[in-house]
Amino acid sequence: MLSSPFVDEQVVLGNYDGEMPNDYIEVNGIRYAQVDGGFISDDDLMKNLQPIQHGDIYNKIPVLAYHRIAQNEFERDNSFWSYTLSVGKFKDDMAWLADNDYHTLTESEAIDVLLGRTTAPDKSVLVTFDDFYGGWIGTGGLEDTTGIDQTGVNCVDIMTKYGINAIFFLITGNNQISDEEWTILGNLDHNQFALGAHTVTHPAISQLTNDEIYDQISDSKATIESRTGATVRTFAYPGGDRNDIARLALRKTGYELAFNFGFLHNDTRRTVPDTELTESITDGSLSSYNLNRKEVRPDNAWTLPDVLTNDHTPKES
Ligand SMILES: [Zn+2]
């Protein structure tokens, strides 16, 4: 290794499970991360995180992402439009899933399916929620500043009535969740309503330092576990924004799956959303920390039956 800065080959680690990388160097066209005890090539560092080859397993399930459910719905030019669905529409969605014999996977089932350990039952779908809003658990009210009214909205009650399983991805900081709400979340049946993490402060992950990424991912998991007694196994990237450092941090802190929205944060495709989104698949084209979801929004072209019965996979051009 003529141009190598390595003192000897001992410092190039083949396997690594230590702290997050501090820095990178490039040697003979290969990028190495500087970690405790030496250097490790990107390929080794990212083992199991990068896309793997297609195999025999070809499970494919749609993963739905809801945000806030409220009494009201907004016009399309309102900034709350895309993240606020009316409770009537939400109730229709849940009833439709039940009436049409959809199997809503529990978090535990979803992990087994998406990691390729089991095959998904027919008509499987995974229901998820991002951020935390009082309307999920019946503690929401009327917000004077926004006009958003979650009074009397209780998604847990609705889903219990229809036998729907779901994952709630929580922002643990920003005073988003009150003591009373933590108690309610802790008392949920966590097999039916699993608690996943959605960072501490909802940052754009790719804009953070490595340490900040690690803290957002690790601290949110620790807070949910200590406040509710639930075990946090899954994660959702705020805004779908993600990078390899986040995936390393997720692996290191013991998460099993992470979900995005099928596009990158600043991806211009976001301006033509939805029809570009693909399902979460275990055919190897995505890793377990890079799973796609479909946002369910008050958009005519994107009602639940349309999401689940039509093929929205991007076509080859
Ligand atoms: Zn979010």
pLDDT 10s digits, 94-117? 999 999 999 999 999 999 888 878
Task: Quote the tokens at residue 263.
Answer: 């596009």
Please determine, for residue 301, whether its predicted confidence score (pLDDT) is greater than 60.
no
Question: pLDDT value at position 317?
Answer: 41
Of the ranges 1-15, 131-145, 263-277, the best mean pLDDT one: 131-145
Please determine, for residue 311, whether its predicted confidence score (pLDDT) is greater than 70.
no
CA neighbours closer than 13 Å in the CB half-sphere of residue 132: 25
Q: Are strands 257-259 and 234-236 parallel, antiparallel or unpaired?
A: parallel
Q: CA separation (Å) from 38 to 11, 15, 177?
A: 4, 11, 42
pLDDT tens string 215-238 = 999 999 999 999 999 999 999 999
Read off the pLDDT band of 4 (50, 70, 90): low
171 three-state secondary structure: coil
Task: Quote the tokens at residue 253.
Answer: 């802190």
Q: How far is the CA of 205 from the centre of ligand 1 (A)?
A: 12
Q: How far is the CA of 20 from the centre of ligand 1 (A)?
A: 24
Q: How far is the CA of 94 from the centre of ligand 1 (A)?
A: 21
> What's the rounded Cα separation, in Å, for the pair 128 and 272?
22
Question: pLDDT value at position 309?
Answer: 75
CA neighbours closer than 13 Å in the CB half-sphere of residue 80: 16
Please determine, for residue 277, whether its predicted confidence score (pLDDT) is greater than 60.
no
> What's the rounded Cα separation, in Å, for the pair 190 and 233?
12
DSSP category for residue 234? E
pTM, rounded to two decimals: 0.85
Please determine, for residue 21, whether its predicted confidence score (pLDDT) is greater than 60.
yes
> What's the rounded Cα separation, in Å, for the pair 94 and 161?
9
Question: pLDDT value at position 172?
Answer: 98
pLDDT tens string 163-190 = 999 999 999 998 899 999 999 999 999 9
Domain range list for the chain: 9-45, 60-309
Question: pLDDT value at position 272?
Answer: 32
Tell me the β-bridge partners of 257.
234
Tell me the mean pLDDT in the region 189-197. Answer: 98
Q: Residue 219: which of 198, 234, 193, 203 has the closest Cα?
A: 198
4 phi and psi, to 5 degrees?
-80, 135
- The CATH number assigned to the domain with range 60-309 reads 3.20.20.370
> What's the rounded Cα separation, in Å, for the pair 311 and 300?
16
Q: How far is the CA of 24 from the centre of ligand 1 (A)?
A: 30
> What's the rounded Cα separation, in Å, for the pair 187 and 243?
34
Q: How far is the CA of 53 from the centre of ligand 1 (A)?
A: 31
> What's the rounded Cα separation, in Å, for the pair 86 and 290?
29
Read off the pLDDT band of 28 (50, 70, 90): confident
Q: How far is the CA of 111 from the centre of ligand 1 (A)?
A: 21
Please report, rounded to a whole number, the percentage of residues in the chain having pLDDT higher than 70.
Answer: 77
DSSP 254-267: T--EEE--SS-TT-
Ion ligand 1: residues, CB within 5 A, are: 130-131, 238
Per-residue b/e over 210-245, b at no fewer than 16 CB within 10 Å?
Answer: beebbbbbbbbbebbeebbebebbbbbbbbbbbbbb
Place of tokens 């799956």: 257
